[in-house]
Amino acid sequence: MTQIALLGFGVVGGGVAKVLTENQDIIKKRASEEISIKYILDLRDFPDSPFCDRIVHDYDTILSDPDIKIVAEMMGGSHPAYEYTKAALLAGKSVVTSNKECVAKFGQELLSIAAENGVRYMFEASVGGGIPIIRPMINDLSPNNIISIDGILNGTTNYILTKMTQDGSDFSEVLSDAQAKGYAERNPSADVEGLDAARKIVILTALATGIRLDSDAIYCEGITEIDPTAIALAESLDCKIKLIAHFEKIDGKLLSMVSPRLVPSDNPLYAVDDVFNGILVSTDMLGDVMFYGRGAGMLPTAGAVVADIIDIVTHKTVGEGIRALSWKIADGNEADFSSYRCDRAFTVRGDIEDVKKYFGEPSRYFIEDGKISFTVKNMSEAEADAAVRNVSLINKFRML
């Protein structure tokens, strides 16, 4: 039997207990032994939970117990999750986590401490909720160069944008709904302002390149400015607005960013609605590959945490199973954002001749109620910034 400890008994922690209980037979078969929760660390007591006898409030109880070989960290946030993870790894315990903030900020250090101590640090649940993406990036795509990644990586914002588009729902009402469903972060500004997606694209970029960018330093724009005029612009161009996390290389340097984009109906990410995430990875040998599934929520995320636990139980010797990772912190590897080029869409007030003068010949345009909506191909950030200074801007979007 393997005994484990859970750090945090919120949405994901509660889900891990549920998955381990409800699917214990199949998990025992696949892990070749029983996996049992010995401790749950939380500030609260949960007197009505069947797990109330496992609740502890002192982390030292877990750290000092030699029976605990695996710690599942689902506290969220950087602190004390980082300190607790580090202490567990130094004590010779493997750690699995759903905590994207901790992986994005401290991944390279925690991976190296794990390697030095002959244990594992695993984080399948940190990106894409229940979608298998971390393990395929590490193992299955390892013969490929990753050319680009485009991902809908935040379930809460995709849920909000879908409801705003399909039902004309109000932003704040749908956000409350997403919170009630357990999709949103404790502080949902991380979702709606794009930071959660930024952390996730930083993790995928590190898997693709071995270099860990600073998630607070990459370009990051959320969905708080999306209004009915923006949704109407998208619809009239046969697109949907999605919060897209993007990675590519520009002249060998790394460009990772998050922003709302217009996704045309012929792009596979167009059909990714509600809480689902979709991750389109473009590679040199395989070509394009798409990962799709539930990107947030209790059981999908918990299932990914439990998959990592089973992986550790079934590969007791470090070096077996998943390939070991070693990341470096970015040091001059960041691309200049102003040189990033993509297709773009704008709505402005004014004259079509001004549009042509400042933006070049549009690839499409239409005029409605004195407003001109148009698209342009392959325009850089610097060119777009310069052009919009000359017009009365209503909306601007990058396109996929």
Per-residue tokens: 166: 């399909």
**Please, what is the minimum distance in Å from the beta carbon of residue 359 to ligand HSE?**
34
Residue nearest to ligand HSE (CB): 156
Amino acid present at 153: L
**Binds ligand HSE (CB under 6 A): choice among 14, 15, 129, 293:** 129
Select 222 or 362, whichever has its Cβ closest to ligand HSE: 222
How many residues belong to the site for ligand HSE (CB under 6 A)?
Answer: 11
**Please, what is the minimum distance in Å from the beta carbon of residue 256 to ligand HSE?**
17
The string over 349-388, giving b where at least 16 C-beta atoms fall within 10 Å of a residue's C-beta and e elsewhere, is eeeeebbeebbeebeebeeeeebbbbbbeebbbebbeebb
CA distance 344 to 260: 11
**Binds ligand HSE (CB under 6 A): choice among 5, 81, 87, 184:** 184
DSSP string, 53-69: GGEES-HHHHHT-TTEE
**Please, what is the minimum distance in Å from the beta carbon of residue 183 to ligand HSE?**
5
**Please, what is the minimum distance in Å from the beta carbon of residue 308 to ligand HSE?**
15
Select 191 or 308, whichever has its Cβ closest to ligand HSE: 191
Which x/- pattern over 288-327 shows residues binding ligand HSE (rule: CB under 6 A)? -------xx-------------------------------
The string over 239-270, giving b where at least 16 C-beta atoms fall within 10 Å of a residue's C-beta and e elsewhere, is bbbbbbbbbbbeeeebbbbbbbbbbbeebebb
Which x/- pattern over 153-172 shows residues binding ligand HSE (rule: CB under 6 A)? -xxx----------------
Residue 215 as a binder of ligand HSE (CB under 6 A): the answer is no
Q: Look up residue 145 and give its DSSP letter.
A: P
**Binds ligand HSE (CB under 6 A): choice among 101, 191, 311, 383:** 191
Select 8 or 155, whichever has its Cβ closest to ligand HSE: 155
CA distance 289 to 159: 23
* Span near ligand HSE by CB under 6 A; candidates 35-43, 182-190, 217-225, 227-235: 182-190
Residue 196 as a binder of ligand HSE (CB under 6 A): the answer is yes
* Span near ligand HSE by CB under 6 A; candidates 178-186, 242-250, 283-291, 353-361: 178-186
Q: How many CA atoms lie within 13 A of 357 on its CB side?
A: 8
CA distance 145 to 248: 11
Amino acid present at 367: I
Task: Phi first, then psi: give them for residue 125, nearest 5 degrees.
Answer: -80, 0
163 noted as active-site residue = no
Select 157 or 395, whichever has its Cβ closest to ligand HSE: 157
**Please, what is the minimum distance in Å from the beta carbon of residue 107 to ligand HSE?**
15
CA distance 318 to 196: 30
Select 123 or 346, whichever has its Cβ closest to ligand HSE: 123
Residue 183 as a binder of ligand HSE (CB under 6 A): the answer is yes
Q: Is there a contact between 55 and 45 (Cβ–Cβ < 8 Å)?
A: yes
Name the 3-class secondary structure at 100: helix
**Could you say which of 93, 163, 200, 240 is catalytic?**
200
Q: Is there a contact between 387 and 359 (Cβ–Cβ < 8 Å)?
A: yes
**Please, what is the minimum distance in Å from the beta carbon of residue 286 to ligand HSE?**
26
Residue 124 as a binder of ligand HSE (CB under 6 A): the answer is no
Select 6 or 62, whichever has its Cβ closest to ligand HSE: 6
Residue 375 as a binder of ligand HSE (CB under 6 A): the answer is no
**Please, what is the minimum distance in Å from the beta carbon of residue 150 to ligand HSE?**
16
Question: How are beta strands 253-264 and 239-250 bridged, if at all?
Answer: antiparallel
The string over 194-205, giving b where at least 16 C-beta atoms fall within 10 Å of a residue's C-beta and e elsewhere, is bbbbbbbbbbbb
Q: Is there a contact between 291 and 136 (Cβ–Cβ < 8 Å)?
A: yes
The residues carrying an active-site annotation are 200
Q: Given the rule CB under 6 A, which residues bind ligand HSE?
A: 129, 154-156, 183-185, 191, 196, 295-296
